[in-house]
Amino acid sequence: MSTQRRVYVHRETENLIARQIPNYPILSIVGPRQSGKTELIRNYFPHLKHYDFEDLPTRALVEKDITGFVRANIKGAIFDEFQFVPEITQVLKVVADELIWDAHQRGENTAQARFIITGSHNYLLDDRIKEGMVGRVANIKLLPFTIGETGLTDPFLLMYKGGYPAIHTNRTEPDLFFTDYIENYLNREVRTIHGIEDLRTFRKFMEICAHLTGQFFDYQKVGTVLEISKETMSKWLTILYSSYIIFFAGPYYKSTIARFSNKDKLYFYDTGLAAYLMGDIYSPEDIERNSDARGKLFENLIFSQLWKKNYAKGRYHDPAYFWNITGSRGYEVDMIVKRARGLSAIEIKSSSNFDPRWFANMQKHKDLREGDKFVVYTGPTMDVEGGRALNFCDLDQLFLD
């Protein structure tokens, strides 16, 4: 009986890794669980020994003599799920400084990467770790597949499956994958790392967040439904953010200070996870038939695509904003992209039939009249009066080059 070898999907992030290897003795690759970190690094660094710190026997071995363990691997190693042994940071700090000093003695600017550390939690938010990493580590974020990496062109199938690699490379059914994913996330990260015991309420909180995709988070309403405080909700949002489940898009203002003083909209890094948490979605057709879910998930797809493409290039500022005017004459533009050449405005529509009225709100913003105006939808890419209509698969060709 013949066995078919699993196909490795090369990631766009690999270009960033190649650029950073000569610059720092440590490479840090973080992202959500199951985003492909281990497969990426084991394919990219096949010569390095791999240690999984989530494995209890491995962790016990490391913690028995952390200094001895690091120095025994001075030629290079992969430390997977690094956040489970944060104490190793101080040893890595000392060793990294030694490697940099030795490189300077040889007339080199810095040491090339020796240690690859990964985590499903943004451990650089941890003060115990952050101090030891400054100036010694290249930070790389690996998220689920971009649109191009999935190879999918059907928008509803793409929204339903999302971008987690196992769904595409192992052909795992989304409902089975996300059932296990949520269970593992709650038990291994929410409970173990953050000490949250009320996992049932935390899961309900995640489900509510999925329904609030592309919207402002209403603390009062959510708190009333779940009977939890604003402080608890803020903490839980931080947990979801730090473990790369959700991100936030802010409003666009000319004033940078004003951007930081207003409400943000909530999005998921992966539409498949958001669709699963919404409930009652068991197929791409369920998304297509549900106008509310379809609109929310398609907008989420476009926002998350920009964040993924941005991170793959090592750019960690927000790549896009939304713009809205409140009041009796309120109106909104779904997305504003700020570029050196000016502003680009994007309306996001889940329809395949172009409607010229989609450009109306963009015309109301005086700063946009001379800028580029686009509609991203599921129909064909074409030039139209007032701007350009883009198929969602063509998005990165225009904004992220």
What is the per-residue pLDDT across 63-90, written as a single tens digit (0 to 9) for each? Answer: 999 999 999 999 999 999 888 888 898 8
Tell me the C-alpha distance between 359 and 339, whole Å: 20
Contacts of the segment 397-400: beta carbons below 8 A, 24+ positions apart: 398/374, 399/306, 399/319, 399/337, 399/339, 399/344, 400/306, 400/309, 400/310, 400/313, 400/319
What mean pLDDT comes out for the span 352-363? 86
| CB contact at 8 A, 372 and 339 | no
Kindly report the average pLDDT of the chain as a whole number: 88
Q: What is the pTM for the complete model shown?
A: 0.90
Band of pLDDT at residue 283, cut at 50, 70 and 90 = very high
pLDDT beyond 90 at 380: yes
| pLDDT for residue 366 | 67
| pLDDT for residue 152 | 96
Band of pLDDT at residue 262, cut at 50, 70 and 90 = low
Among 201-205, 267-271, 381-385, which stretch is predicted with the lowest mean pLDDT?
A: 381-385
| pLDDT for residue 70 | 95
pLDDT beyond 60 at 260: no
CATH architecture assignment, domain 14-141: 3-Layer(aba) Sandwich (3.40)
Which three-class secondary structure state does DSSP give residue 198?
A: coil
What mean pLDDT comes out for the span 32-41? 93
Tokens of 5: 């070898």
pLDDT beyond 70 at 368: no
Tell me the C-alpha distance between 311 and 400, whole Å: 11
Residues of the chain with CATH 3.40.50.300: 14-141
What is the per-residue pLDDT across 7-21, written as a single tens digit (0 to 9) for each? Answer: 789 999 999 999 999
Band of pLDDT at residue 401, cut at 50, 70 and 90 = very low
What mean pLDDT comes out for the span 278-282? 93
| pLDDT for residue 111 | 80
| CB contact at 8 A, 203 and 186 | yes
| CB contact at 8 A, 379 and 392 | no
- What percentage of the chain has pLDDT greater than the value 90? 61
pLDDT beyond 80 at 174: yes
Higher pLDDT, 337 or 278: 278
